[in-house]
Structure 1
Amino acid sequence: MSSGAIPVRQIPFAFSEAIDPVWHPDKPEWSHMVNGASLTMPYLEPFLIKTVTEALRQVGDPALKADVQAFIGQEGVHYRNHRRYNEILKRHYPELAEVEAALDADYRGFQKRSLEWRLAYTAGFETMTMGITEWLVHQRSLLFRGADRSVASLVLWHMVEETEHKNVAYDLYMHLYGSWWGKARGLLFATAHVALASRQGYRRMLQRDGRWARPSSRLRLYLMVARFLLHASPAMLRSLLPGYHPAKVRDPDWVRRWAAAYDGLEEGTIPLLDTADPEIPAAFPA
């Protein structure tokens, strides 16, 4: 196994207190779908970190160890940035504290399960994100054009780094266990769990906004959920094929261009994308 020198970027995303939780004014349902997913991150990603940290004690391969440590670094920056955003969401929707309490209870319970089960969950979730990344990047104009720059940039940066460490949890699980059935169960359980937890968040926000009971809003929501399933499913299905490895999956070229553009910034600069541009280029205008 070889390390690709995964970078850990210390990006301090900042969010205005006046930010509208409907950060895409033309797509309120999509805005809250993303908000619901963001709500899970400060509970999901520390669970992933704890799991791979425990598994790391059994790893002797130096390249894999370096990759796992970079995975830990990237995921730590991710959830701290999402937590900053979520605190603003909760000021608008205090009922989201109930969703957070349920997430905290879930992951505390999961922590009592075997390391093999937890690592399969971790590898399964990371596999699912590959399909999401492909969807968000390839359809970034449809999904993010005209949206608030800070939220769109947060989401797409997160997906870039998910791509950079896409091999790590898979390699770690296969190195220690290598069970096809365990990997498949982890994929299905993690995907369903995170999707349902996200739904608890966006349902409450849409209810507070008075949209949940509107047939037109519910239809737009279900169409977006269908798009998510349509684009995430191929990544999940191909991961179950013989001979699969995440490294064989070609990354979107935009991901490479984003990383190159970020390398040209001063350290600590927040990489905000131009969501007014139809192409949303991988560049960071002032």
Structure 2
Amino acid sequence: MMSRNISKTDTQLTHRKVTFDFSKTTLHWIPNDPFTSQFLSVIHTILPAGEFFFFRLYNKAKHDITDEKLLDDVNGFIRQEATHARAHNTGTNDLLIKQGVDVQPYIEKIEWLFNVLLSDTPLGYTLSKNAEKKWLIARLGLVAAIEHFTCVLGKYALENTRWDEMNADPVILDVLRWHAAEEIEHRSVAFDVYQHLSGNYLMRYLHMLIAATGIISLWALGATDLMKQDPAFSAQKPKVLGRFFWSTWQNRANKGRLPSVATLVVISFRYLHPSYNPANEADTQQALDYLSNSPAAKQAATAA
């Protein structure tokens, strides 16, 4: 028997086969702000492995979904996440590697996290059927927490005007905002799946603790890795545990160029409310309005 009102997604999730040309984009794509440029560019190295992990995980989970609308949402979610991975992979190759940045050691760490530690056989261990089911639910819960962040940060990207005022590279801005808009579009899917297959409220605390710690840590590690290779930071020698990185992050947050650590903490606590509903975290129409004007999305629609 089909369950009802499981899906909270209020739009058909469209697969937009976007492409981006980074050939004219410089490493410091926000003029006179190498810190914010590198801080945001690190997403190109983090996201591909993570997005492909989502792709594999939800392809596995969808066999347990009994709600037709939710299953349709999941298929749309999978297609969008795969395109996100490919777009950011292009960013890694064309923006970073072609301009001499060695990102391979960092990417290998990210791939180990998603392809080994969080795989169906974590660290190479084959699980029993019962443990396999629990491990699937645990990872779905973790992704639901991560998707809460991507939704709220996506809203931040769509509403941030400081990047435009600073004449940031339009291609990068379109990448960020196209991705942001699609995160808002499918913001309810991961949480709906978790609620449908488990819904354990107390475990959400653990999932968010891991997600929040992981996001901040991976971002800091990746950003400082990029900055260490950038001559603009030769005097500061940024370190994850160094004062320069964290104080400069706060400085850029104060100027409206980045979300602050405090903002990320507040975001995480909202997920823990018993009545949490991702549909309330952003506006689908705002996302669709951007997508109707996105150069890449418009080009993809024309080519379809």
Question: What band does the TM-score fall into relative to the shorter chain?
Answer: 0.7 to 0.9
* Number of the residue aligned with 1:43: 49
Give TM-score scaled by structure 1 length. Answer: 0.84
For the pair 1:179 / 2:177, whether they are aligned, the reply is: no
* Number of the residue aligned with 2:108: 101
For the pair 1:91 / 2:101, whether they are aligned, the reply is: no
Q: Distance in 2 between matches of 1:254 and 1:244?
A: 21
* Number of the residue aligned with 1:223: 251
Q: What aligned pairs does 1:1-286 form with structure 2 within 5 A after superposition? A: 1-2=6-7, 4-16=11-23, 18-88=24-94, 89-107=96-114, 108-111=116-119, 112-113=121-122, 114-138=135-159, 140-145=160-165, 146-210=167-231, 211=233, 213-214=235-236, 218=245, 219-224=247-252, 227-251=259-283, 254-261=286-293, 265=298, 267-268=300-301
- Work out whether residues 137 and 252 of structure 1, in 8 Å CA contact, stay in contact via their aligned partners in 2: no
Distance 1:134 1:262, change over 3 A: closer
User: What 5-or-longer segments of structure 2 have no aligned partner?
Assistant: 1-5, 123-134
- Work out whether residues 132 and 231 of structure 1, in 8 Å CA contact, stay in contact via their aligned partners in 2: no
Task: Give the alignment's Cα RMSD to 1 decimal.
Answer: 2.5
Residues 133-190 of structure 1: per-residue CA shift (max 9 Å, x gap) = 232222x211343011111110011000000000000000111111112222222212
Q: Distance in 2 between matches of 1:227 and 1:179?
A: 30
Residues 204-250 of structure 1: per-residue CA shift (max 9 Å, x gap) = 22112241643996442343468332333333222211211111334
* Number of the residue aligned with 1:274: none
Residues 54-105 of structure 1: per-residue CA shift (max 9 Å, x gap) = 1111011100000000000111111101000101202334431100111111
Distance 1:269 1:183, change over 3 A: farther
User: What 5-or-longer segments of structure 1 have no aligned partner?
Assistant: 271-286
Q: Distance in 2 between matches of 1:24 and 1:161?
A: 23
What code does the residue aligned with 1:101 have?
A: E
Give TM-score scaled by structure 2 length. Answer: 0.80
Q: Distance in 2 between matches of 1:101 and 1:27?
A: 28
